[in-house]
Amino acid sequence: MRPDTNDYRQLFLNDVPLMDVRAPVEFDKGAFPCSTNIPLLDNEQRHVIGTRYKEQGQEAAIALGWQLATPEVKQQRQQAWLDHVRRNPDGYLYCFRGGLRSRLSQQLVRDAGVDYPLIQGGYKAMRRFLIDELERNSNPGPDALPLALVSGRTGSGKTRVIADLMALPLCRAADLEGLARHRGSAFGRLLQPQPSQIDFENALSIAIMKLRHQHTLPVFVEDEGKLIGRVSLPETFKDAMQRAPLAILETPVEQRVDIALQDYVTDALPIYIEHFGKELGVEQFRQQILGNLDRIRKRLGGKRHQQLQLAFSEALDALVAHNDSSGFRPGIRLLLTEYYDPMYDYQQAQREGRALFRGEHEELLHWAAKCESL
């Protein structure tokens, strides 16, 4: 039998499969990228046993647990766990604190003929480890992450630079928007739901930890606000970003229109159609585009909002009827130059002296790939 472990770093660095035996409601609040929820107790069982524990103590709670573990329930749990163990023989199991539930689960798996190790300290200890690890990498000092921001105007292709840096033999970037499953702007919502706040923080900490384990070279992330959609950057990491130097991506406005058109329209509509079907997909996409405009109506101003609503509505009709996306160009250009660019100019005015580099995509990529210190 492999021994139980508390080597959390190696678990995360090696993407070890984890079997989470907490209740689904606990798993949904926060878990880890390589974890699978196969609970010992369902949500209702967890509630009633927790109530018994508070009212009558541990022994009474254990007795109720065994009472609820009918032969049918026990067989179902064992089978699900054994299926997971056979698929992931090098994995581990855990509960919230690495205590009663994980040991009961471990025993039930053993009763079925398989020894499977658990993680000492459970979810709580692993979560604490990831919080501390991200703080260590973010705080000023000798252990601080050498961080740089890929900055630039909306539509300049910052995410593409990050993807190219991640594809290098020695990965040089972390994709914050990919981890958040959101493109970061008012139009950035994806069909795939965003992770919970805790899941996002866990995934970010693991991504940074892996980069630090691979090398001590500067790491690039896209310049983001505190919020990426509905998830927020951890405060210590955001503080590190606010101290970090900038690599500014400079892209001509017509190329920015091309990038925005591709990312938010021509590549996006087929995804909606594939997901919802033709008729409903087109309608959902229309609601997405026009609804996003509604959300920034106050900042756009009533007249400009009305102008863009009409322009994008007509452009959507032409795209669906004739596969012609050109009608979006004037509205996208207006949004970029009259809405996003003034905000960017204001922000950059507060960051004088932080820019280490300015250039177009290939120039920035070449500089960043060769950058050994900041």
Residues in the chain: 374
Q: Contact, 267 vs 334, CB < 8 A?
A: no
The 3-state secondary structure of 132-164 reads HHHHHHHCCCCCCCCEEEEEECCCCCHHHHHHH
Cα distance from N-terminal residue to C-terminal residue, the chain:
47
CA 282, 284, 287, 288 dihedral sign is negative
Catalytic position from the list 34, 95, 171, 371: 95
Q: Please tell me what DSSP assigns to residue 41.
A: S
* CB within 8 Å of 103: residues ≥ 6 apart: 118
95 is catalytic: yes
Matching residue, tokens 């500014």 = 248
DSSP-assigned letters across all residues of 64-90: HHHHH--HHHHHHHHHHHHHHHHH-TT
- Active site amino acids: 95
